[in-house]
A and B are shown apart, each in its own frame.
Chain A
Amino acid sequence: MKRLPHRIASSRLTLAGFALLAAGTLATYNRPGASAAAIVLPLALLAVNLAAAIAVRPALRHGGLGLFHIALLALLLLAGLGRLTHFDGRVEVAEGGGFDPAQVEVTGRGPWHGSAWKNLQFRQGSYEVDYAPGVKRSHTRSQVWTDGESGPSLRVVGDDTPLVLDGYRFYTTHNKGFAPLLTWQPEGGEPVQGLINMPSYPLFDWKQENSWTAPDGTALRFWLRIERPLSEQSTWTLVARDMPAVLVVEAAGARHELRPGQSIALPAATLRYERLAGWMGYRIFYDPTLVPMLIASVLGVLGLGWHLWRRGERLLPGAQGAMA
């Protein structure tokens, strides 16, 4: 029985684990549908191998080498825990509107992840996006309002400055666009106000269209005709509210062109185009192991560096005496 831990701790098994992990990485490379087991199983094998090696070899428990191997084991375990508890998603939030959990598209979620994301709250303000020549996206500044103890507070978030709410990190993305604000006023009824999200801009600058069915069943189609040509040679800043645009509305077989503040009378209601606003697409990321993994990995490398610095020659059997 005593031999079993030694067999599990075998260096040959370590190398086999490395080879399997490399093979699994290559097998799943660029294949989103590939099974995660190709990577998870070799990692689990290496974790067991490493745990056994630490248990049966005292040298792997002391000094820098010990710190390195224990940190490596912690890193493997944390990576596994992270996969069980992580959450990834994306959401579009319209200007003036609030974060709506029902609109979140969940792209990845660990089985141990709860539903705390459904309680998150923030309101979207306006945004600005800088562009370099060649329509290359540069800095994004998206205003969001969060509720604090002293009332709502304004935050400016971007691609590299996330909004962090209860550990959930919201990053702006290239996915954003225009959203005309409309008021639907039925005869004798309560007005309804809302935004129509147009496709991402400038990615789909040629296809700024969407449709909406009014509460009374009227089918409406919208096109946004941007009146400022896309600047490909110079720097510019995208600000939804400043973009000159005409909203073309097709209703009951007739076309209408509206500018902000204008309205059209339909058989049983009035449609008013209030102003041009925007919507912002966010990537949502949650992984509670993020900071512990960083600490473990830094400690591990420091341990390795410490060990190699002090005992480099002894580590190399063939080098003993050779470099003196």
Chain B
Amino acid sequence: MNIAARALDTWWLYAGAALVALSALHAWRQLAAPAGRGLATASRPSWTLADLALAAVATGIALRWARIGHGPFLNLFEILASSLLSLGLIWRLASLRVAALRDSAAVVLSLLALLGAWLLVADPADTVLPPTYEMPVLWFHLAFGKIFLGCALVATGLAGVLIARASERGTRWFRRMPGDAVLDALAWRFMLAALVFESLMLIAGAVWAQDAWGRFWAWDPLETWAFITWLALASAVHTRITWRVGPRQGALMIAVVFAIAFLTFFGVPFVSVAPHKGAV
């Protein structure tokens, strides 16, 4: 397809993706600034850019929704766009509530920039909503899934800080943030919330699948990987609760769980065309 002929909403989404990448770069620049320079206002410019990015993505999604008549649920392009918005919003809201999260912006925005870069190369073809996607329970399934991944992203941002602090440079970059024990506890709170929301996502998904395809569970690729993610998350939480795992080891566990969740959300739709194999 001729790139110039793409719909206006696609360009809004591209602009949003580019702004996310810019805000990530800006956040890293602020972190790397010498002590005493830029730190007092470290988070403000990044916030402005990130907010602009989210506004652009929201506009793109709204325009696309109005044009094709349904939400961004189906192909990889739509899933990346909706995730960029939902993850960004969840992190934004969490940062408003917990000030300590703001300085993990560089890590979180870098992960979002990865989604943005992927969006730029994904096929923006229009999709047709199957009747199985018109059920109200789908909204719950999607919302729980987005909140789950958002909580995991916030925890991974903190885990990234903890891992970076293993080096002298990382310690210098994230010197303004609370101590490791505080970040570790905060990260695991978000992982526990992620466990609740992933469980809810699986339940709502099973209810949806029963009415959509006549079975509540059939080990399709996304179901299988969502279950693997739940197992990984439950194992990590169990390990963390049972044994005194250090902040760095705990951070590595969080990163591994997030990597599996990321693969589930974005890798499986990428290889199996539709989020669920029986979608149409």
A-chain residues with CB within 8 Å of residue B247 when the two chains form the complex: 318
Tell me how many residues of B have a C-beta within 8 Å of chain A: 50
Instruction: Across the interface, name the chain B residue whose C-beta is closest to A161.
Output: B211
Chain A residues at the B interface, C-beta cutoff of 8 Å: 11, 14-15, 18-19, 21-22, 25-26, 28-30, 88, 132-134, 136-140, 158-162, 169, 171, 173, 283, 285, 287, 290, 293-294, 297-298, 300-301, 304-305, 308, 312-313, 315-319, 322-323
Instruction: Across the interface, name the chain A residue whose C-beta is closest to B186.
Output: A323
Given known A317-B244, A323-B185, contact A18–B235 (CB-CB < 8 A): yes
The answer for the CA separation of A312 and B186 in the assembled complex, in Å, is 11
B-chain residues with CB within 8 Å of residue A290 when the two chains form the complex: 210, 216
Q: Which of A137, A158, A169, A315 contacts B192 (CB 8 A)?
A: A315
Q: Would you call A312 and B131 a contact (CB within 8 A)?
A: no
Q: Would you call B131 and A323 a contact (CB within 8 A)?
A: no
The distance from the CB of A197 to the nearest CB of chain B, in whole angstroms, is: 21
Q: Would you call B131 and A160 a contact (CB within 8 A)?
A: yes
Q: Would you call B193 and A308 a contact (CB within 8 A)?
A: yes
Given known A304-B195, A316-B185, A318-B181, contact A21–B131 (CB-CB < 8 A): no
A-chain residues with CB within 8 Å of residue B186 when the two chains form the complex: 323
B-chain residues with CB within 8 Å of residue A318 when the two chains form the complex: 181, 184-185, 188, 244-245, 247, 250
Q: Would you call B131 and A158 a contact (CB within 8 A)?
A: yes
The answer for the CA separation of A162 and B212 in the assembled complex, in Å, is 10
Q: Would you call A304 and B196 a contact (CB within 8 A)?
A: yes
Interface residues of B in 224-273 (CB under 8 A from A): 224, 227-228, 231-232, 234-235, 238-242, 244-245, 247, 250
The answer to whether the Cβ of B36 comes within 8 Å of any Cβ in the partner chain is: no
B-chain residues with CB within 8 Å of residue A304 when the two chains form the complex: 195-196, 199
B-chain residues with CB within 8 Å of residue A287 when the two chains form the complex: 216
The answer to whether the Cβ of B169 comes within 8 Å of any Cβ in the partner chain is: no
Q: Would you call A139 and B131 a contact (CB within 8 A)?
A: yes
The answer to whether the Cβ of B166 comes within 8 Å of any Cβ in the partner chain is: no
Interface string of B50-65 (1 = CB under 8 A from A): 0000000000000000
The answer to whether the Cβ of B200 comes within 8 Å of any Cβ in the partner chain is: yes
Q: Would you call A171 and B214 a contact (CB within 8 A)?
A: yes
Q: Would you call B188 and A319 a contact (CB within 8 A)?
A: yes
Interface string of B176-219 (1 = CB under 8 A from A): 00010110111011001101100110110011001111111001
Instruction: Across the interface, name the chain B residue whose C-beta is closest to A312.
Output: B189
Q: Would you call A319 and B185 a contact (CB within 8 A)?
A: yes
Chain B residues at the A interface, C-beta cutoff of 8 Å: 128, 130-132, 134-135, 179, 181-182, 184-186, 188-189, 192-193, 195-196, 199-200, 202-203, 206-207, 210-216, 219, 221, 224, 227-228, 231-232, 234-235, 238-242, 244-245, 247, 250, 280
The distance from the CB of A44 to the nearest CB of chain B, in whole angstroms, is: 16
Q: Would you call A301 and B200 a contact (CB within 8 A)?
A: yes
Q: Would you call A322 and B181 a contact (CB within 8 A)?
A: yes
B-chain residues with CB within 8 Å of residue A29 when the two chains form the complex: 219, 221, 224
Question: What are some 30 contacts across the A-B interface (CB < 8 A)?
Answer: A11-B238, A11-B242, A18-B234, A22-B232, A25-B227, A29-B219, A29-B221, A133-B128, A136-B128, A137-B130, A137-B280, A161-B211, A173-B214, A285-B210, A285-B215, A294-B206, A297-B199, A297-B206, A301-B196, A301-B203, A308-B193, A308-B196, A312-B189, A316-B188, A317-B241, A318-B185, A318-B244, A322-B179, A323-B182, A323-B185
B-chain residues with CB within 8 Å of residue A315 when the two chains form the complex: 192, 241
Given known A29-B224, A134-B128, A304-B195, contact A294–B203 (CB-CB < 8 A): yes
The distance from the CB of B139 to the nearest CB of chain A, in whole angstroms, is: 15
Instruction: Across the interface, name the chain A residue whose C-beta is closest to B179.
Output: A322
The distance from the CB of B136 to the nearest CB of chain A, in whole angstroms, is: 11
Q: Would you call B131 and A159 a contact (CB within 8 A)?
A: yes
The answer for the CA separation of A140 and B132 in the assembled complex, in Å, is 11
The answer for the CA separation of A18 and B235 in the assembled complex, in Å, is 7
The answer for the CA separation of A317 and B216 in the assembled complex, in Å, is 37
Instruction: Across the interface, name the chain B residue whose C-beta is closest to A32.
Output: B219
The answer for the CA separation of A297 and B216 in the assembled complex, in Å, is 13
